[in-house]
Amino acid sequence: MVPVVCPRCHTELEDRDEWWSGSACGCGKCKGILADKNWLESNMHQGDYKRLRARVFTGSPAGILCPHCLTIHPQRPIEMSKFTVSPSGRSYEVDGCHNCGSMWFDQGELEPYEEGGEGDPSIVSARNKKDPVERTGDSTNSGTAGEVALGILDLLGAILTGF
């Protein structure tokens, strides 16, 4: 099998579980992560994933070829598109492939989207708590003002971005 190569420093990416069944590869040198569509769908909040996926089609040329597509079809390289996202108030430039759905995250860019464990401050972890709409009929689980505000901000963000 042809190795998956880092689009930044051109070193062989290291598997993080099985790549072909929906996982991610990481670069030991630059610490970037290439995540395929199945991994993204399984490990991201669906709203985050849908917003990122839609941005792939509106981004500009990234100047790098999709490592996943290059591995499968080396004769037909696909250029990734780049787009800016701002989770947690910080701006990142993410690269995505409109063909296979893989996305490249430079070091630290994926962390705000990863599902975390208990006490993890990531966006996905906070959003995975019960939605304020779900809580309205549940008197045993009243949300904090911060959780309700997070839900309202998510809703406003979705309206403003059209997603």
- What pLDDT digit, counting tens, does each position of 92-128 carry? 899 999 999 999 999 988 887 764 433 333 444 443 4
* CA 111 to each of CA 39, 65, 126: distance values in angstroms, whole numbers, following the listed order: 14, 23, 13
Q: Please give the residue that has the higher pLDDT: either 106 or 15.
A: 106
- Comparing CA positions, the residue from 1, 6, 7 lying closest to residue 20 is 1
The average pLDDT across 145-153 equals 55
User: What digits encode the pLDDT tens for the residues 26-76?
Assistant: 999 999 999 988 888 888 888 888 889 999 999 999 999 999 898 888 888
Task: Indicate the pTM of the whole model.
Answer: 0.66
